[in-house]
């Protein structure tokens, strides 16, 4: 089941995403003020939600890893952090493309953009520390992951706390039904794809950890004459 | 966000009402054709040109945005596949090492 689950999730994602693209472009009416470019919304916003979800997953897993030394939590934290970078880069690139078309400026330094950029940098630091850090650096990395997770509510409430060019959080709740009907498949497809990749990456990381331990065991074993 | 199809431009109702009030002409009656003036036509063409440019620009932005998302996921998938290949090679090396050590 462990091997099959990511394949099922990736399969669901591979089927749902083309369907959602078809829905977005052929079945969803054009938004009144922004025009056709608003269709970026259907992938930009779900990707941002997924990025925030994975940041929380990474922070929690890193906290568990520090307390319990769990190899499963360690693998989950590393996998989630890498996917935060993938989803975050998607958000940070598609957002300015959308902004360039609607606001006339790709980057306005508004609070949500800056806090999202900071989140990405924090998780980039986490991945670098995990990859190149010396023995014992996992505690520093875990602290970074927890800081990153704490940044998530700040991103969410940034539009309420500060004056921003980003619209209010309520804009998603006030979508017309046709737009909701296209947002769900996009969210479902991206979520299935991301969870499938997360699951596969966790398995890979656990296999790497086990292999490292096996190498250490072989190196330490007394050589037979 | 509001759908474009729900949007009613100002004066649309008045124009619709005027259309409804127009007398129906019979098949054989002469109906003079009133062409639009050049200024109105040029104004309409200018609007169409602006709309066409906006749509083309929107499509270009959308292609970039969607292309980036697919490329990122595909890139990550390829990285994972390469990592799995390296892991398999490492497992094979370990197996050889254990076999040679016996």
Residues 6+ apart with CB under 8 A from A110: A158, A162, A164, A165, A166
The residue ranges of chain A whose pLDDT is under 50 are 225
Contact A29, B4 (CB under 8 A): yes
When CB atoms are compared, the residue of A35, A97, A204 closest to B83 is: A204
Per the domain annotation, does B15 fall within a domain? no
Per the domain annotation, does B28 fall within a domain? no
Q: Do B101 and A221 touch (CB under 8 A)?
A: yes
Q: How far A39 CA lies from chain B's nearest CA (Å)?
A: 7
Q: What's residue B31's pLDDT?
A: 79
Q: Do A39 and B76 touch (CB under 8 A)?
A: no
Could you tell me if A71 lies within 8 Å of chain B, comparing CB atoms? no
Could you tell me if A214 lies within 8 Å of chain B, comparing CB atoms? yes
When CB atoms are compared, the residue of B66, B73, B91 closest to A211 is: B91
Residues 6+ apart with CB under 8 A from A41: A98, A183, B1
Q: Which chain A residue's Cα is nearest to B1?
A: A175
Q: Do A43 and B69 touch (CB under 8 A)?
A: yes
Q: Is A160 exposed, middle or buried (0-12, 13-18, 19+ CB in 10 A)?
A: exposed
Residues of A in contact with B59 (CB under 8 A): 36
Does residue B6 surpass a pLDDT of 80?
A: no
φ and ψ at residue B28, rounded to 5 degrees: -95, 0
Per the domain annotation, does B65 fall within a domain? yes
Q: What is the DSSP letter of A35?
A: B
Q: How would residue B34 be classed by pLDDT, with cut points 50, 70 and 90?
A: confident
Angle between helices A41-68 and A71-102 (to 10 degrees): 160
Does residue B69 surpass a pLDDT of 50?
A: yes
pTM of the model: 0.84
Per the domain annotation, does B4 fall within a domain? no
Q: How far apart are CA B83 and CA B87, in angstroms?
A: 6
| Cβ under 8 Å to A: B residues 63-82 | 64-66, 68-69, 72-73, 76-77, 80
Top-level CATH class of A4-165+177-204?
Answer: mainly alpha
Per the domain annotation, does B77 fall within a domain? yes
Q: Which chain A residue's Cα is nearest to B99?
A: A218
- Total domain count, chain B: 1
Comparing C-alpha atoms, which of A176, A182, A187 is closest to residue A48?
Answer: A187
Per the domain annotation, does B24 fall within a domain? no
Per the domain annotation, does B85 fall within a domain? yes
Does residue B16 surpass a pLDDT of 90?
A: no
Over A86-103, what HEC string results?
HHHHHHHHHHHHHHHHHC
**Which domain covers residue B51, as residue numbers?**
37-101
Tens digit of each residue's pLDDT (9 = 90 or more) over B76-85: 999 999 999 9
Q: What is the DSSP letter of A167?
A: P
φ and ψ at residue B32, rounded to 5 degrees: -65, 140
Could you tell me if B59 lies within 8 Å of chain A, comparing CB atoms? yes
Could you tell me if A191 lies within 8 Å of chain B, comparing CB atoms? no
Give the residue ranges of DSSP H helices in chain B: 12-21, 38-101
Percent of chain B with pLDDT over 70: 75
Q: What's residue A217's pLDDT?
A: 86
Q: What's residue B27's pLDDT?
A: 65
Comparing C-alpha atoms, which of A23, A39, A78 is closest to residue A189?
Answer: A23
CB atoms within 10 A of CB A27: 10
Q: Which chain B residue's Cα is nearest to A221?
A: B101
CB atoms within 10 A of CB B23: 6
At CA A53, angle to CA A52 and CA A58, rounded to 5?
95
The strand pairing partners of B3, in sequence order, are A31
Q: Do B57 and A200 touch (CB under 8 A)?
A: no
Q: How far A63 CA lies from chain B's nearest CA (Å)?
A: 25
Comparing C-alpha atoms, which of A47, A75, A55, A53 is closest to residue A147?
Answer: A55
Tens digit of each residue's pLDDT (9 = 90 or more) over A165-186: 888 888 888 888 989 999 999 9
Q: How would residue B9 be classed by pLDDT, with cut points 50, 70 and 90?
A: low
* More confident: B18 or B43: B43
Q: Which chain A residue's Cα is nearest to B70?
A: A90
Q: How far apart are CA A121 and CA B36, in angstroms?
A: 59
Distance of CA A58 to the CA centre of its chain: 10
Residues 6+ apart with CB under 8 A from A54: A80, A81, A83, A84, A87, A194, A198
Per the domain annotation, does B11 fall within a domain? no
Could you tell me if B3 lies within 8 Å of chain A, comparing CB atoms? yes
Q: How far apart are CA A68 and CA A66, in angstroms?
A: 6
Residues of A in contact with B3 (CB under 8 A): 29-32, 176, 178-179
Comparing C-alpha atoms, which of A207, A77, A199, A83 is closest to residue A129?
Answer: A77
Rg (CA), chain B: 33
Could you tell me if A225 lies within 8 Å of chain B, comparing CB atoms? no
């Amino acid at each position: 089941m462990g091997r099959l689950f990511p394949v099922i999730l990736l399969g669901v994602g591979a089927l749902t995403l083309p369907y959602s693209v078809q829905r977005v472009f052929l079945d969803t009416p054009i938004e009144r003020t922004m025009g056709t470019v608003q269709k970026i919304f259907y992938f930009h916003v779900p990707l941002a939600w997924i990025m925030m979800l994975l940041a929380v997953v990474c922070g929690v897993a890193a906290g568990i890893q520090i307390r319990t030394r769990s190899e499963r939590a360690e693998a989950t934290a590393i996998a989630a952090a890498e996917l935060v970078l993938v989803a975050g880069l998607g958000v940070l690139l598609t957002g300015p493309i959308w902004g360039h078309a609607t606001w006339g400026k790709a980057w306005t330094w508004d609070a949500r953009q800056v806090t999202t950029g900071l989140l990405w940098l924090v998780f980039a630091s986490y991945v670098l520390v995990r990859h190149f850090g010396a023995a014992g650096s996992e505690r520093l990395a875990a602290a970074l992951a927890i800081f990153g997770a704490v940044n998530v509510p700040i991103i969410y409430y940034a539009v309420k706390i500060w004056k921003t060019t980003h619209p209010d959080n309520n804009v998603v709740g006030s979508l017309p039904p046709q737009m909701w009907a296209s947002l769900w498949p996009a969210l479902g497809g991206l979520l299935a794809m991301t969870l499938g990749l997360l699951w596969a990456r966790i398995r890979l990381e656990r296999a790497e950890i086990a292999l490292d331990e096996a190498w250490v065991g072989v190196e330490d074993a007394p050589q037979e004459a | 966000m509001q759908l474009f199809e729900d949007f009613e431009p100002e004066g649309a109702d008045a124009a619709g009402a005027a259309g409804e009030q127009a007398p129906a002409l019979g098949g054989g009656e002469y109906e003079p054709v009133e062409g639009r003036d050049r200024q109105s036509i040029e104004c309409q063409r200018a609007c169409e040109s602006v709309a066409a440019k906006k749509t083309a620009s929107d499509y270009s932005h959308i292609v970039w945005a969607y292309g980036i998302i697919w490329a990122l996921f595909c890139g990550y998938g390829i990285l994972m596949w390469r990592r799995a290949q390296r892991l398999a090679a490492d497992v094979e090396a370990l197996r050889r090492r254990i076999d040679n050590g016996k």
